[in-house]
Structure 1
Amino acid sequence: MSDETQTPPEWRNFYGRIRGKTLRSSQKTYLSEDLDTLRPEGVTRDENPERLPIEPAALFGDDRPVWLEVGFGGGEHLVHMAARYPEVGIIGAEPFINGVAMLLGKIRAAGVTNLAVHPGDARDLMEVLPAASVAKAFLNYPDPWPKRRHHRRRFVTAEHLLPLARVLRPGAEFRVATDIPDYVRQTLIEVPKAGFALVASVATPWEDWVSTRYEQKALREGRVPHYVTFRRL
Protein backbone atom coordinates (compact mmCIF):
# COMPACT_ATOMS: atom_id res chain seq x y z
CA MET A 1 0.00 0.00 0.00
CA SER A 2 1.44 3.38 -0.95
CA ASP A 3 1.96 6.15 1.57
CA GLU A 4 0.50 9.45 0.38
CA THR A 5 -1.58 8.25 -2.60
CA GLN A 6 -4.55 6.90 -0.67
CA THR A 7 -8.04 8.26 -1.32
CA PRO A 8 -9.76 8.09 2.06
CA PRO A 9 -13.56 8.08 2.24
CA GLU A 10 -15.30 11.41 2.64
CA TRP A 11 -17.58 9.86 5.26
CA ARG A 12 -17.42 6.70 7.31
CA ASN A 13 -19.49 5.04 9.98
CA PHE A 14 -18.44 5.47 13.57
CA TYR A 15 -19.86 3.21 16.24
CA GLY A 16 -19.57 3.76 19.96
CA ARG A 17 -20.07 6.47 22.53
CA ILE A 18 -18.68 9.98 22.16
CA ARG A 19 -19.96 11.30 25.50
CA GLY A 20 -21.02 9.76 28.80
CA LYS A 21 -21.86 11.23 32.18
CA THR A 22 -21.73 14.98 32.74
CA LEU A 23 -18.14 16.08 33.09
CA ARG A 24 -16.92 17.41 36.43
CA SER A 25 -15.78 21.01 36.54
CA SER A 26 -12.16 19.90 36.88
CA GLN A 27 -12.47 17.74 33.77
CA LYS A 28 -13.94 20.65 31.82
CA THR A 29 -10.92 22.67 32.92
CA TYR A 30 -8.52 20.01 31.65
CA LEU A 31 -10.27 19.99 28.28
CA SER A 32 -10.31 23.77 27.94
CA GLU A 33 -6.77 24.38 29.19
CA ASP A 34 -4.72 21.33 28.14
CA LEU A 35 -6.19 19.58 25.13
CA ASP A 36 -5.25 22.12 22.46
CA THR A 37 -1.56 21.97 23.36
CA LEU A 38 -1.55 18.15 23.29
CA ARG A 39 -3.72 17.59 20.22
CA PRO A 40 -1.92 16.88 16.90
CA GLU A 41 -2.80 19.42 14.24
CA GLY A 42 -3.79 18.36 10.75
CA VAL A 43 -5.74 15.24 11.70
CA THR A 44 -9.34 16.34 11.19
CA ARG A 45 -10.83 16.91 7.75
CA ASP A 46 -11.57 20.54 8.60
CA GLU A 47 -7.89 21.16 9.31
CA ASN A 48 -6.52 18.93 6.57
CA PRO A 49 -9.07 18.26 3.80
CA GLU A 50 -6.33 17.09 1.41
CA ARG A 51 -5.22 14.51 4.01
CA LEU A 52 -1.60 15.55 3.70
CA PRO A 53 0.80 13.65 6.00
CA ILE A 54 1.66 15.15 9.35
CA GLU A 55 5.15 14.98 10.80
CA PRO A 56 5.33 12.98 14.05
CA ALA A 57 8.64 14.59 15.01
CA ALA A 58 6.86 17.94 15.22
CA LEU A 59 4.69 16.58 18.04
CA PHE A 60 7.62 15.88 20.32
CA GLY A 61 10.35 18.20 19.05
CA ASP A 62 12.74 15.50 17.87
CA ASP A 63 13.01 12.21 16.00
CA ARG A 64 12.32 9.94 18.96
CA PRO A 65 10.43 6.66 18.36
CA VAL A 66 6.68 7.12 18.19
CA TRP A 67 4.16 4.68 19.68
CA LEU A 68 0.38 4.61 19.23
CA GLU A 69 -2.38 3.54 21.60
CA VAL A 70 -5.79 3.03 20.00
CA GLY A 71 -8.68 3.65 22.40
CA PHE A 72 -6.90 4.52 25.63
CA GLY A 73 -10.00 4.38 27.85
CA GLY A 74 -9.24 6.25 31.06
CA GLY A 75 -5.57 6.67 30.16
CA GLU A 76 -3.95 4.52 32.86
CA HIS A 77 -1.83 2.49 30.46
CA LEU A 78 -0.95 5.47 28.28
CA VAL A 79 0.37 7.56 31.19
CA HIS A 80 2.16 4.55 32.71
CA MET A 81 4.02 3.86 29.46
CA ALA A 82 4.87 7.54 28.98
CA ALA A 83 6.39 7.70 32.47
CA ARG A 84 8.27 4.43 32.04
CA TYR A 85 9.65 5.33 28.59
CA PRO A 86 10.35 9.08 28.62
CA GLU A 87 12.58 8.70 25.56
CA VAL A 88 9.55 7.68 23.46
CA GLY A 89 6.70 9.84 22.15
CA ILE A 90 3.25 8.24 22.46
CA ILE A 91 0.08 9.26 20.64
CA GLY A 92 -3.24 8.19 22.13
CA ALA A 93 -6.45 8.18 20.09
CA GLU A 94 -9.82 8.09 21.88
CA PRO A 95 -13.19 9.49 20.69
CA PHE A 96 -14.90 9.18 24.11
CA ILE A 97 -14.55 12.68 25.53
CA ASN A 98 -14.98 11.54 29.14
CA GLY A 99 -11.97 9.27 28.69
CA VAL A 100 -9.99 12.13 27.17
CA ALA A 101 -10.82 14.30 30.18
CA MET A 102 -9.72 11.54 32.56
CA LEU A 103 -6.45 11.15 30.68
CA LEU A 104 -5.72 14.88 30.83
CA GLY A 105 -6.14 14.81 34.60
CA LYS A 106 -3.72 11.88 34.84
CA ILE A 107 -1.20 13.69 32.64
CA ARG A 108 -1.29 16.68 34.97
CA ALA A 109 -0.85 14.47 38.02
CA ALA A 110 2.01 12.46 36.53
CA GLY A 111 3.77 15.41 34.90
CA VAL A 112 4.61 13.45 31.74
CA THR A 113 5.50 15.52 28.69
CA ASN A 114 5.91 12.88 25.96
CA LEU A 115 2.23 12.37 25.06
CA ALA A 116 -0.01 13.62 22.26
CA VAL A 117 -3.79 13.17 22.36
CA HIS A 118 -6.12 12.79 19.39
CA PRO A 119 -9.71 13.11 20.69
CA GLY A 120 -11.31 11.25 17.82
CA ASP A 121 -11.39 8.26 15.51
CA ALA A 122 -8.02 6.49 15.20
CA ARG A 123 -8.69 5.98 11.49
CA ASP A 124 -8.45 9.74 10.92
CA LEU A 125 -5.08 9.78 12.65
CA MET A 126 -3.75 6.76 10.75
CA GLU A 127 -4.75 8.38 7.45
CA VAL A 128 -2.30 11.23 7.98
CA LEU A 129 0.58 9.50 9.75
CA PRO A 130 3.41 8.69 7.32
CA ALA A 131 4.02 5.09 6.36
CA ALA A 132 6.30 3.16 8.73
CA SER A 133 6.35 6.05 11.22
CA VAL A 134 5.15 4.14 14.31
CA ALA A 135 7.39 1.76 16.27
CA LYS A 136 4.80 0.10 18.52
CA ALA A 137 1.01 0.00 18.87
CA PHE A 138 -1.41 -0.99 21.62
CA LEU A 139 -5.05 -2.07 21.59
CA ASN A 140 -6.19 -2.58 25.18
CA TYR A 141 -9.66 -3.83 26.06
CA PRO A 142 -11.37 -2.61 22.89
CA ASP A 143 -15.14 -2.49 22.62
CA PRO A 144 -16.05 -6.19 22.26
CA TRP A 145 -19.20 -5.71 20.16
CA PRO A 146 -20.43 -9.09 21.40
CA LYS A 147 -23.35 -9.60 19.01
CA ARG A 148 -22.34 -11.60 15.96
CA ARG A 149 -23.84 -9.09 13.53
CA HIS A 150 -21.65 -6.39 15.10
CA HIS A 151 -18.32 -8.20 14.82
CA ARG A 152 -17.49 -6.17 11.72
CA ARG A 153 -17.39 -3.09 13.99
CA ARG A 154 -14.47 -4.47 15.97
CA PHE A 155 -11.06 -2.90 15.51
CA VAL A 156 -9.60 -6.21 14.35
CA THR A 157 -11.03 -5.91 10.85
CA ALA A 158 -9.33 -4.93 7.61
CA GLU A 159 -10.81 -1.41 7.77
CA HIS A 160 -8.65 -0.69 10.81
CA LEU A 161 -5.83 -3.21 10.54
CA LEU A 162 -4.64 -2.30 7.04
CA PRO A 163 -4.18 1.39 7.94
CA LEU A 164 -2.44 0.32 11.13
CA ALA A 165 -0.11 -1.96 9.21
CA ARG A 166 0.72 0.91 6.85
CA VAL A 167 1.85 3.25 9.62
CA LEU A 168 3.80 0.60 11.57
CA ARG A 169 7.42 0.12 10.63
CA PRO A 170 8.65 -3.39 9.75
CA GLY A 171 9.37 -5.28 12.96
CA ALA A 172 7.07 -3.07 15.03
CA GLU A 173 5.20 -4.73 17.88
CA PHE A 174 1.40 -4.71 18.06
CA ARG A 175 -0.14 -5.68 21.40
CA VAL A 176 -3.76 -6.63 22.02
CA ALA A 177 -5.28 -7.16 25.48
CA THR A 178 -8.85 -8.40 25.89
CA ASP A 179 -10.98 -10.52 28.20
CA ILE A 180 -13.35 -11.69 25.46
CA PRO A 181 -12.50 -15.16 24.06
CA ASP A 182 -14.26 -14.50 20.75
CA TYR A 183 -12.29 -11.27 20.36
CA VAL A 184 -9.12 -13.32 20.76
CA ARG A 185 -10.40 -15.74 18.12
CA GLN A 186 -11.09 -12.98 15.61
CA THR A 187 -7.80 -11.26 16.42
CA LEU A 188 -5.78 -14.40 15.73
CA ILE A 189 -7.53 -14.82 12.37
CA GLU A 190 -7.63 -11.26 11.09
CA VAL A 191 -4.42 -9.59 12.26
CA PRO A 192 -2.04 -11.93 10.36
CA LYS A 193 -4.00 -11.26 7.16
CA ALA A 194 -3.03 -7.58 7.45
CA GLY A 195 0.70 -8.30 7.44
CA PHE A 196 1.56 -9.39 10.97
CA ALA A 197 3.21 -12.47 12.46
CA LEU A 198 1.97 -13.91 15.75
CA VAL A 199 4.58 -13.76 18.50
CA ALA A 200 2.61 -14.86 21.56
CA SER A 201 -0.95 -15.47 22.73
CA VAL A 202 -0.90 -16.02 26.48
CA ALA A 203 -2.65 -15.38 29.80
CA THR A 204 0.40 -13.66 31.29
CA PRO A 205 0.73 -9.89 30.74
CA TRP A 206 3.76 -8.13 29.37
CA GLU A 207 6.54 -7.26 31.80
CA ASP A 208 5.76 -3.53 31.57
CA TRP A 209 1.98 -3.91 31.72
CA VAL A 210 -0.19 -1.95 34.12
CA SER A 211 -3.68 -3.21 34.87
CA THR A 212 -6.41 -0.80 33.77
CA ARG A 213 -9.83 -0.17 35.26
CA TYR A 214 -11.36 -2.18 32.41
CA GLU A 215 -9.17 -5.13 33.27
CA GLN A 216 -10.02 -4.84 36.96
CA LYS A 217 -13.71 -4.88 36.08
CA ALA A 218 -13.18 -8.01 33.97
CA LEU A 219 -11.41 -9.74 36.84
CA ARG A 220 -14.15 -8.81 39.30
CA GLU A 221 -16.72 -10.27 36.95
CA GLY A 222 -14.77 -13.50 36.51
CA ARG A 223 -13.44 -13.00 32.99
CA VAL A 224 -9.86 -14.03 32.15
CA PRO A 225 -7.58 -11.48 30.44
CA HIS A 226 -5.61 -12.54 27.39
CA TYR A 227 -2.53 -10.89 25.92
CA VAL A 228 -1.61 -11.25 22.26
CA THR A 229 1.58 -9.96 20.63
CA PHE A 230 2.21 -9.55 16.90
CA ARG A 231 5.17 -8.36 14.87
CA ARG A 232 4.73 -6.26 11.70
CA LEU A 233 6.22 -8.09 8.72
Structure 2
Amino acid sequence: MSHSPSDPEAPDLSPSDPALTRRNFYGRRHGKTLRQSQKGYLEDLAHLRPKGVTFDENPDRRPIAPGTIFGDDRPLWLEIGFGGGEHLVHMACLYPQVGVIGCEPFINGVAMLLGKIRAAGVENVSILPGDARDLMDVLPDAAIDRAFLNYPDPWPKARHHRRRFVTPEHLEPLARIMRPGAEFRIATDIPDYVRQAREEVPAAGFTPVADSDQPWDDWLSTRYEQKALREGRVPHYLTYRR
Protein backbone atom coordinates (compact mmCIF):
# COMPACT_ATOMS: atom_id res chain seq x y z
CA MET A 1 0.00 0.00 0.00
CA SER A 2 2.95 2.38 -0.15
CA HIS A 3 4.59 4.09 -3.07
CA SER A 4 7.22 2.25 -5.08
CA PRO A 5 10.32 4.23 -6.11
CA SER A 6 9.72 3.21 -9.73
CA ASP A 7 6.06 4.18 -9.73
CA PRO A 8 5.48 7.21 -11.97
CA GLU A 9 2.57 8.25 -9.74
CA ALA A 10 4.73 8.21 -6.61
CA PRO A 11 6.13 11.32 -4.97
CA ASP A 12 9.84 12.05 -5.29
CA LEU A 13 11.41 10.19 -2.37
CA SER A 14 15.05 9.32 -1.87
CA PRO A 15 15.96 5.63 -1.29
CA SER A 16 16.89 6.46 2.30
CA ASP A 17 13.52 8.05 3.07
CA PRO A 18 11.93 6.22 6.03
CA ALA A 19 8.62 6.16 4.15
CA LEU A 20 10.23 3.72 1.69
CA THR A 21 11.94 1.52 4.25
CA ARG A 22 9.07 1.36 6.73
CA ARG A 23 6.47 -0.43 4.63
CA ASN A 24 5.88 -2.29 1.40
CA PHE A 25 3.11 -2.13 -1.18
CA TYR A 26 2.06 -5.35 -2.93
CA GLY A 27 -0.99 -4.48 -5.04
CA ARG A 28 -1.41 -3.04 -8.53
CA ARG A 29 -1.31 0.70 -9.19
CA HIS A 30 -2.11 0.66 -12.90
CA GLY A 31 -4.33 -1.44 -15.17
CA LYS A 32 -5.51 -0.84 -18.70
CA THR A 33 -4.69 2.44 -20.40
CA LEU A 34 -7.09 5.12 -19.25
CA ARG A 35 -9.60 6.49 -21.72
CA GLN A 36 -9.25 10.15 -22.56
CA SER A 37 -12.37 10.96 -20.54
CA GLN A 38 -10.88 9.18 -17.51
CA LYS A 39 -7.67 11.15 -17.84
CA GLY A 40 -9.83 14.26 -17.71
CA TYR A 41 -11.49 13.03 -14.55
CA LEU A 42 -8.09 12.87 -12.84
CA GLU A 43 -7.90 16.64 -13.07
CA ASP A 44 -10.60 16.69 -10.37
CA LEU A 45 -8.14 15.25 -7.86
CA ALA A 46 -6.60 18.65 -7.25
CA HIS A 47 -9.57 19.76 -5.13
CA LEU A 48 -10.66 16.33 -3.86
CA ARG A 49 -7.45 15.19 -2.15
CA PRO A 50 -7.41 15.52 1.65
CA LYS A 51 -5.03 18.30 2.66
CA GLY A 52 -1.71 17.43 4.29
CA VAL A 53 -1.78 13.69 3.57
CA THR A 54 0.75 13.20 0.77
CA PHE A 55 4.48 12.85 1.45
CA ASP A 56 5.39 16.04 -0.39
CA GLU A 57 2.82 18.16 1.48
CA ASN A 58 3.54 16.64 4.89
CA PRO A 59 6.90 14.81 4.78
CA ASP A 60 7.18 14.63 8.57
CA ARG A 61 3.71 13.11 8.92
CA ARG A 62 2.47 15.89 11.18
CA PRO A 63 -1.11 15.33 12.39
CA ILE A 64 -3.78 17.08 10.34
CA ALA A 65 -7.00 18.53 11.70
CA PRO A 66 -9.96 16.45 10.47
CA GLY A 67 -11.95 19.63 9.91
CA THR A 68 -9.55 20.73 7.18
CA ILE A 69 -10.62 17.88 4.88
CA PHE A 70 -14.13 19.24 4.24
CA GLY A 71 -13.79 22.60 5.96
CA ASP A 72 -16.17 21.79 8.83
CA ASP A 73 -16.77 19.35 11.67
CA ARG A 74 -19.06 16.87 9.87
CA PRO A 75 -18.71 13.14 10.69
CA LEU A 76 -16.03 11.40 8.64
CA TRP A 77 -16.39 7.96 7.08
CA LEU A 78 -13.54 6.04 5.48
CA GLU A 79 -13.64 3.46 2.69
CA ILE A 80 -10.41 1.47 2.44
CA GLY A 81 -9.84 0.36 -1.17
CA PHE A 82 -12.98 1.56 -2.94
CA GLY A 83 -12.47 -0.39 -6.19
CA GLY A 84 -14.62 1.24 -8.85
CA GLY A 85 -16.23 3.58 -6.33
CA GLU A 86 -19.88 2.58 -6.68
CA HIS A 87 -20.34 1.86 -2.95
CA LEU A 88 -18.56 5.06 -1.94
CA VAL A 89 -20.72 7.26 -4.17
CA HIS A 90 -23.83 5.39 -3.00
CA MET A 91 -22.96 6.21 0.62
CA ALA A 92 -22.19 9.83 -0.22
CA CYS A 93 -25.60 10.18 -1.88
CA LEU A 94 -27.46 8.49 0.98
CA TYR A 95 -25.71 10.48 3.69
CA PRO A 96 -25.00 14.00 2.39
CA GLN A 97 -24.34 15.26 5.92
CA VAL A 98 -21.30 12.96 6.18
CA GLY A 99 -17.85 13.41 4.63
CA VAL A 100 -16.76 10.20 2.89
CA ILE A 101 -13.02 9.67 2.39
CA GLY A 102 -11.89 7.01 -0.06
CA CYS A 103 -8.39 5.51 -0.25
CA GLU A 104 -7.41 3.53 -3.35
CA PRO A 105 -3.93 3.00 -4.85
CA PHE A 106 -5.24 1.59 -8.17
CA ILE A 107 -5.34 4.63 -10.44
CA ASN A 108 -7.89 3.09 -12.81
CA GLY A 109 -10.30 2.73 -9.89
CA VAL A 110 -9.66 6.34 -8.91
CA ALA A 111 -10.54 7.47 -12.45
CA MET A 112 -13.74 5.38 -12.37
CA LEU A 113 -14.76 6.93 -9.04
CA LEU A 114 -14.13 10.44 -10.32
CA GLY A 115 -16.46 9.78 -13.25
CA LYS A 116 -19.15 8.53 -10.86
CA ILE A 117 -18.73 11.59 -8.65
CA ARG A 118 -19.28 13.86 -11.65
CA ALA A 119 -22.33 11.90 -12.77
CA ALA A 120 -23.90 11.86 -9.29
CA GLY A 121 -23.00 15.46 -8.49
CA VAL A 122 -21.94 14.60 -4.94
CA GLU A 123 -19.75 17.08 -3.09
CA ASN A 124 -19.08 15.24 0.18
CA VAL A 125 -16.24 12.99 -1.07
CA SER A 126 -12.49 13.29 -0.59
CA ILE A 127 -10.03 10.94 -2.30
CA LEU A 128 -6.56 9.74 -1.40
CA PRO A 129 -5.17 7.96 -4.50
CA GLY A 130 -2.83 5.80 -2.46
CA ASP A 131 -2.22 3.83 0.69
CA ALA A 132 -4.81 4.12 3.47
CA ARG A 133 -1.96 3.96 5.95
CA ASP A 134 -0.76 7.35 4.70
CA LEU A 135 -4.04 8.81 5.91
CA MET A 136 -4.02 6.85 9.16
CA ASP A 137 -0.51 8.17 9.84
CA VAL A 138 -1.69 11.76 10.02
CA LEU A 139 -5.24 11.58 11.40
CA PRO A 140 -5.60 12.17 15.15
CA ASP A 141 -7.21 9.69 17.53
CA ALA A 142 -10.97 9.14 17.23
CA ALA A 143 -11.34 11.04 13.93
CA ILE A 144 -13.37 8.47 11.95
CA ASP A 145 -17.02 7.64 12.64
CA ARG A 146 -17.38 4.66 10.28
CA ALA A 147 -15.04 2.56 8.14
CA PHE A 148 -15.66 0.15 5.25
CA LEU A 149 -13.50 -2.67 3.92
CA ASN A 150 -15.33 -4.11 0.92
CA TYR A 151 -13.95 -7.10 -0.96
CA PRO A 152 -10.31 -6.50 -0.05
CA ASP A 153 -7.54 -8.32 -1.87
CA PRO A 154 -7.78 -11.88 -0.46
CA TRP A 155 -4.10 -12.81 -0.86
CA PRO A 156 -5.12 -16.49 -0.97
CA LYS A 157 -1.69 -18.08 -0.51
CA ALA A 158 -0.91 -18.78 3.14
CA ARG A 159 2.50 -17.12 2.93
CA HIS A 160 0.77 -13.91 1.80
CA HIS A 161 -1.86 -13.72 4.55
CA ARG A 162 0.28 -11.15 6.38
CA ARG A 163 -0.42 -8.79 3.46
CA ARG A 164 -4.14 -8.76 4.18
CA PHE A 165 -5.68 -5.67 5.73
CA VAL A 166 -6.99 -7.69 8.68
CA THR A 167 -3.59 -7.83 10.36
CA PRO A 168 -2.30 -5.81 13.34
CA GLU A 169 -0.18 -3.61 11.02
CA HIS A 170 -3.39 -2.17 9.57
CA LEU A 171 -6.02 -2.78 12.23
CA GLU A 172 -4.22 -1.14 15.14
CA PRO A 173 -3.81 2.21 13.32
CA LEU A 174 -7.42 1.95 12.17
CA ALA A 175 -8.60 1.36 15.73
CA ARG A 176 -6.65 4.39 16.88
CA ILE A 177 -8.28 6.79 14.41
CA MET A 178 -11.83 5.48 14.99
CA ARG A 179 -13.90 7.04 17.74
CA PRO A 180 -15.30 4.81 20.51
CA GLY A 181 -18.57 3.35 19.27
CA ALA A 182 -17.68 3.80 15.58
CA GLU A 183 -18.72 1.04 13.18
CA PHE A 184 -16.33 -1.02 11.05
CA ARG A 185 -17.87 -3.05 8.21
CA ILE A 186 -16.18 -5.82 6.23
CA ALA A 187 -17.63 -7.53 3.14
CA THR A 188 -15.82 -10.48 1.57
CA ASP A 189 -16.53 -13.67 -0.35
CA ILE A 190 -13.45 -15.51 0.92
CA PRO A 191 -14.13 -17.89 3.86
CA ASP A 192 -10.53 -17.77 5.07
CA TYR A 193 -10.64 -13.98 5.09
CA VAL A 194 -13.71 -14.22 7.32
CA ARG A 195 -11.79 -16.59 9.59
CA GLN A 196 -8.83 -14.23 9.88
CA ALA A 197 -11.07 -11.20 10.44
CA ARG A 198 -12.88 -13.00 13.26
CA GLU A 199 -9.54 -13.64 14.94
CA GLU A 200 -7.69 -10.40 14.28
CA VAL A 201 -10.28 -7.62 14.35
CA PRO A 202 -11.47 -8.14 17.97
CA ALA A 203 -7.85 -8.45 19.09
CA ALA A 204 -7.19 -4.96 17.67
CA GLY A 205 -9.87 -3.35 19.84
CA PHE A 206 -13.19 -3.99 18.08
CA THR A 207 -16.32 -5.69 19.43
CA PRO A 208 -18.25 -8.06 17.10
CA VAL A 209 -21.77 -6.83 16.37
CA ALA A 210 -23.00 -8.91 13.41
CA ASP A 211 -21.66 -11.86 11.41
CA SER A 212 -24.01 -12.74 8.58
CA ASP A 213 -24.61 -13.70 4.96
CA GLN A 214 -27.19 -10.89 4.80
CA PRO A 215 -25.95 -7.40 3.83
CA TRP A 216 -26.63 -4.14 5.62
CA ASP A 217 -29.88 -2.30 4.85
CA ASP A 218 -28.02 0.48 3.04
CA TRP A 219 -25.64 -1.83 1.16
CA LEU A 220 -25.01 -1.48 -2.57
CA SER A 221 -23.78 -4.63 -4.27
CA THR A 222 -20.52 -3.85 -6.08
CA ARG A 223 -19.16 -5.26 -9.32
CA TYR A 224 -16.78 -7.40 -7.26
CA GLU A 225 -19.70 -8.91 -5.38
CA GLN A 226 -21.60 -9.57 -8.59
CA LYS A 227 -18.56 -11.39 -9.96
CA ALA A 228 -18.35 -13.48 -6.79
CA LEU A 229 -22.01 -14.43 -7.08
CA ARG A 230 -21.62 -15.39 -10.74
CA GLU A 231 -18.71 -17.62 -9.80
CA GLY A 232 -20.64 -19.28 -6.97
CA ARG A 233 -18.95 -17.66 -3.98
CA VAL A 234 -21.11 -16.60 -1.04
CA PRO A 235 -20.63 -13.05 0.27
CA HIS A 236 -20.26 -12.53 4.01
CA TYR A 237 -20.79 -9.35 6.02
CA LEU A 238 -19.06 -8.59 9.32
CA THR A 239 -19.83 -5.64 11.58
CA TYR A 240 -17.67 -4.47 14.48
CA ARG A 241 -17.89 -1.64 16.98
CA ARG A 242 -14.82 0.25 18.11
Smaller-chain TM-score bracket: over 0.9
Q: Residues of 1 paired with 2:20 and 2:32: CA distance? A: 31
Please say if 1:62 is aligned against 2:72: yes
Q: Deviations over 1:122-175 (max 9, x none)?
A: 001100011100000000000000001000000000000000000000000000
1:37-186 superposed matches below 5 A: 37-186=47-196
> Could you tell me which amino acid in structure 2 is paired with residue 89 of structure 1?
G
Question: What is the CA–CA distance in structure 2 between the aligned matches of 1:44 and 1:10, rounded to whole Å?
Answer: 17
1:95-144 alpha-carbon deviations (Å, 9 max, x no partner): 00000000000000000000000000000110001110000000000000
Distance 2:70 2:49 in 1: 11
Q: In structure 2, the residue corresponding to 1:69 is in which secondary structure?
A: strand
Q: Which residue of 2 is the match for residue 26 of structure 1? A: 37
Counterpart code for 2:129: P
Rounded to whole Å, the distance in 2 between the matches of 1:36 and 1:56 is 18
Return the alpha-carbon distance in structure 1 between the equivalents of residues 111 and 130 of structure 2.
13
Give the Å deviation of 1:54.
Answer: 1.3
Aligned-partner Cα distance in 2 for 1:39–1:60: 10
Number of equivalences:
225
CA distance in 2, matches of 1:11, 1:20: 26
* C-alpha contact 1:8 1:127 (8 A) present in aligned 2: no
Q: What is the CA–CA distance in structure 1 between the aligned matches of 2:115 and 2:46, rounded to whole Å?
A: 14
Unpaired runs of 5+ residues, structure 2, are 1-17
**Which letter does structure 2 place at the counterpart of 1:17?**
R
Q: Structure 2: which amino acid aligns with 1:23?
A: L
The RMSD of aligned alpha carbons is 1.2
Aligned residue number for residue 4 of structure 1: none
The residue identity in structure 2 corresponding to 1:41 is K
Query: Normalising by structure 1, what TM-score?
Result: 0.94
- Contact preservation (8 Å) 2:51, 2:68: no
CA distance in 2, matches of 1:55, 1:111: 26
- Percent identity reads 75
**When the two structures are superposed, what TM-score results if normalisation uses the length of structure 2?**
0.91
> 1:10 & 1:153 partners in 2: Cα distance?
16
Q: Does the 8 A contact of 2:189 with 2:236 survive in 1?
A: yes
Distance between the aligned counterparts of 2:176 and 2:226, measured in 1?
32
2:7 alignment counterpart: none
Q: For residue 41 of structure 1, report the CA deviation from its aligned partner.
A: 2.2
Letter in 1 for 2:171: L
**2:75 touches 2:145 (CA, 8 Å); kept in 1?**
yes
Q: Is 1:203 equivalent to 2:175 in the alignment? A: no
In structure 1, the gaps of 5 or more residues are 1-6
Structure 1 residue 45: Cα displacement: 1.9
